[in-house]
Structure 1
Amino acid sequence: MHILHVAASLGPESAAGRLCTSLTREGCTVSSLGIEPPAFDDGHFFSNSASQIQWWRRLGRIALHLHPQRNTAMPWTSPWCAYSLDKWVKNLNPDVVHMHWIAASTVNLPRLAALSVPIVWTFHDMWPLTAGCHCPLDCEQWQKQCSTCPQLGKGLMGFNMPRLAWNYKKDAYHKLKHVYAIGPSHWMTKMASLSSLWQKKTCIHLGNALDINIFAPQNKVAARRQWGLPNDMPILLFGATSSKIPYKGFDLLIKALHDLKTQEKKFHLAIFGEHNEADLQIPCTCVGFISDPSKLASLYSAADIFVAPSRQDNLPTTLIEASACETPCVAFDIGGVSDIVTHNQHGYLAPPFDVKELAQGISLLLDNLTLRKQWGKAARSHILTHFESSLIARQHIAFYEKIIRRANRD
């Protein structure tokens, strides 16, 4: 079986890349196609011209400037000015095209109807179901039609990009026959069922793959020494692409930690990813981006508690990785978090967005080493039975085989 995986960026450590590696180990032929690095050594690119890529993306973003009131802290990408898959399918001759995160001028949606093979699309965020936002938060317009957008505000001269983009996607989806969505979380699968864009189309639930041999518990003392973290107090860990992204909820975490300070709780906060070195008035170590998965596993192992205060999330990779390293997690009960963490079994889930309850969950684990160890071991056991890479790969292969047979019958 030959699967062509497509994403804006398809690196080995992305959720899509980890699936590619797992499928290869299970005997599949895997090709990858993206816009920009990082990528697999034998991966393909839509274009080898960096200037052409930048020009194409700028062209796709022009319409955003007609909404000068837009919230630039929230990602919003149009579906226009994207690449066609036709020639790649013809030249590579895959049995299935599997798309992942294809926003930001990656794939030409109307041209998908011309493909001669089944299409699988993993919804890594809400973009496939909205006009263009990736995280709608409290907005529910996407369920029927994005006629306005609270993230964009009013357009100049009556220009309404949400309505245009939503209708563009609707027309493109309507023409698709053998297309199937995957929701990595039960929450995302439910969101697809509520969407009028994906009406009468299939969306099944399949989780993301994780190499549980890499993400495994390491010696805590040695791990702390590696990262220069103190050994005389509990370590809390937070990680995100950027702590500035509003829906990652870093501001809520800081409020919870200040609440713990008033209770005279002792802890040290470690942060990975992009973070402003502003004075948080909390003992803190920022380690920046970590691309090496074994190093990331050692950081998870160095921590006593991983905290994910997200306002909205599909299936947070950080929670899966932390749990695999036997680090119990505290989070708000939103999105697909409950697929990973069961309250009072693998970690603590606070009601959204109750900062005092988040602090209570952290405090509970800070005060109880035995409970941290118990929940940590239960968390890893849960990951082994639900997200282990070969298991997830075999589930995907069974799904590919099913839709290939269906396409051949038609």
Structure 2
Amino acid sequence: MKALHINTDESRGGAARSANRLYAAQRIVGTDARMLVLRRSTRDPNVDSVPLNRLQRLIRRRVIHLDRPSKRAYPEYRGGDWSTGRVSTPVLGYLERARPDVVNLHWLGGGMLSVEALARIRAPIVWTLHDMWAVTGGCHYAGSCVLYRTGCGSCPQLRSTQPRDISASTWERKRRSWRDLNLTIVTPSRWLADIVKESPILGGYRTEVIPNAIDTQVFRPFNAAFARDVLRLPQDKTLILFGAQHIDDERKGFAYLSKALALLPERDDVELVLFGVSQPVLETNLKAHHVGTIDNDQLLALLYSAADVFVAPSVQDNLPNTVMEALTCGTPSVGFHIGGMPDLIDHQQSGYLARPLDAEDLAHGISWSLANRAALGEHARAEAVSRYDSMQIAARYVGLYTEIIGDRFGRVS
């Protein structure tokens, strides 16, 4: 069976890491899996970059701005992940030559694949959704907005008051283009599955919940003293860990962590460890160690093992890799009871689920988890291995591929 995974990046960002781990695990279990990306970051011979000749590269540079909202039309738009799906790379030509049995789509932002080009894929499609973009008028996470349920328009992220703005037209392009696809949806979390099922765009298609995959031999508990020695972190401190690709991404909720830390009982043995881009300002005098961006999985596993608790106070999230990685390393995790967090954290068994956006309860959850670290860590590791091991997840996907390859349409009757 030939399976082709398509994602904008090979390994940069959460969706890319998830897609890459799944593709690699499928090769181990015997599937002829490959990956097609716009931006490569390794020399993996089974990962191809979209072939672009000189003229295509020139044209792309001229039109890539069309994948973002126009600053002229929406001057109050502050940036962030928002894609119109109007720009595409020559993926279809690659597919004609490669002829995969199944195409597994992932994150397609940055002009990887347009709304209309996606509809022209002939092979059976499995689309693993890593955020909400497929069901919205352009945003990747809608926050408190629910206009994606009825057609978008007056987009709050664009600061738009126009009912027929670009979010409404993008939403309608998706609804019109994706009516009759050979498509099966996979969501890593139950939260996102529920959103898809109520969507006028994709709600009619079969939707399966399959979590992201993780290599439980790479992400495993290490001796904390050894891990701290390697990372040059203090041996005699209680370490609270927070990390994200961009620490200052409002959706990742660092502001709530900062407030929670200020509410913790005063202890001179507690310090904070941060990984990711940027160094935020704390609302407390707590000492912080910023270790920068870590792309190496082995070093990440050491970092999680060095910590006493991992905190992920996202205000909206699917199934964040950081939480899965921390739990697999036996590190208790604390987050809000939002999105896919309940799929990951077993409340008061592998960590703590605080009341949504309640910094005081988040602080309580951190203190409680630190006090119960040993028992929580054992449960976290055992459950992560049983739920997310990459070989198990790869086999589930292969079973799904086998089931749908002979079907003409994945739409629910």
**1:116 aligned to 2:117?**
no
Secondary structure of 1:190's aligned partner: helix
Structure 1 residues 375 and 64: CA distance shift in structure 2, 3 A: same
Cα deviation for residue 53 of structure 1 reads 4.7
Quote the Cα distance in structure 1 between the aligned partners of 2:205 and 2:193. 12
Which residues in structure 2 correspond to 1:104-183 (within 5 Å)?
A: 104-154=110-160, 160-174=165-179, 176-183=180-187
Instruction: Output the CA distance in 1 between the equivalents of 2:149 and 2:321.
Output: 26
Return the alpha-carbon distance in structure 2 between the equivalents of residues 54 and 225 of structure 1: 46
Shift of 1:155: 7.0
Counterpart check, 1:270 vs 2:293 = no
CA distance, structure 2, for counterparts of residue 147 and residue 279 of structure 1: 37
Q: Which residue in 2 is equivalent to 1:10?
A: 10
Q: CA deviation at 1:58?
A: 2.2
For the pair 1:21 / 2:28, whether they are aligned, the reply is no
Q: CA deviation at 1:38?
A: 2.1
Residue number in structure 2 paired with 1:225: 229
Residue 84 (structure 1) shift: 4.4
Q: Please, which moves more after superposition, 302-311 or 163-172? A: 163-172
Q: 2:218 aligns with which of 214, 220, 223?
A: 214
Distance (Å, rounded) in 1 between the aligned partners of 2:28 and 2:71: 42
Which residue is 1:248 aligned to?
Answer: 252
Q: Distance in 1 between matches of 2:43 and 2:164?
A: 41
Name the residue aligned to 1:60. Answer: 67
Deviation at 1:39, TM superposition (A): 4.9
Report the alpha carbon displacement of residue 47 of structure 1 after superposing the two structures with TM.
Answer: 3.9
Counterpart of 2:379 in structure 1 is 378
Q: CA deviation at 1:111?
A: 2.8
Q: Which runs of 5+ in 1 are unaligned?
A: none
Residue 191 (structure 1) aligns with = 195
Choose the corresponding residue for 2:239, options 235, 238, 243. 235
SS in 2 for 1:7: strand
Contact 2:219/2:301 (<8 A) preserved? yes
Structure 1 match to 2:396? 395
Pick one of 335, 342, 354 that aligns with 1:338: 342
Paired residues of 2:215 and 2:389 also in contact (CA < 8 A): yes
Q: 2:316 aligns with which of 296, 299, 312?
A: 312
CA RMSD after TM alignment: 2.1
Residue 77, structure 1, aligned to residue 78, structure 2: no
2:99 is equivalent to residue 93 of structure 1: yes
Give the letter for the 1:116 counterpart: R
Whether the aligned pair in 1 keeps the contact of 2:182 and 2:409 (CA below 8 Å) is: no
Q: Determine helix, strand or coil for the equivalent of 1:35.
A: strand
Where 2:68 maps in the other structure, the secondary structure is: helix
Q: CA 1:226/1:200 → structure 2, altered by over 3 Å: closer, same or farther?
A: same
Structure 1 residue identity aligned to 2:277: E
Whole-angstrom CA distance in 2 between matches of 1:121 and 1:233 = 44
One-letter amino acid matched to 2:5: H
Normalising by structure 1, we get a TM-score of: 0.93
Whole-angstrom CA distance in 2 between matches of 1:318 and 1:189? 20
Q: Is residue 282 of structure 1 aligned with residue 286 of structure 2?
A: yes
- Structure 1 272/388 Cα, relative in aligned 2: closer, same or farther at 3 Å? same
Moved more, 88-97 or 268-277: 268-277
SS at match of 1:133: coil
C-alpha offsets along residues 217-249 of structure 1, whole Å, 9 cap, x if unaligned? Answer: 111011111222111121000000111111100
In the TM superposition, what is the alpha-carbon distance from 1:203 to its structure 2 partner? 1.3
CA distance 1:318–1:22, shift in 2 (3 Å): same
Asked whether the 8 Å contact 1:47–1:53 carries over to 2, the reply is no
Q: Percent identity?
A: 32
Change (3 A) 1:126 1:409: closer
Q: Please give the alpha-carbon distance, in whole angstroms, between the structure 1 residues aligned to 2:410 and 2:192.
A: 29
- Note the C-alpha offset of 1:276: 2.3
For residues 364-394 of structure 1, the C-alpha deviation after alignment (integer angstroms, 9 at most, x for no partner) is 133x2xx211111100111111100000000
Q: Are positions 1:328 and 2:329 aligned together?
A: no
SS in 1 for 2:377: helix
Distance across 2 between alignment mates of 1:153 and 1:77: 15
Q: 1:113 to 1:404 in 2, by over 3 A?
A: same
Q: Is the 8 A contact 2:92 2:117 kept in 1?
A: yes
Q: Which runs of 5+ in 2 are unaligned?
A: none
> Which amino acid counterpart does residue 81 of structure 1 have in structure 2?
V
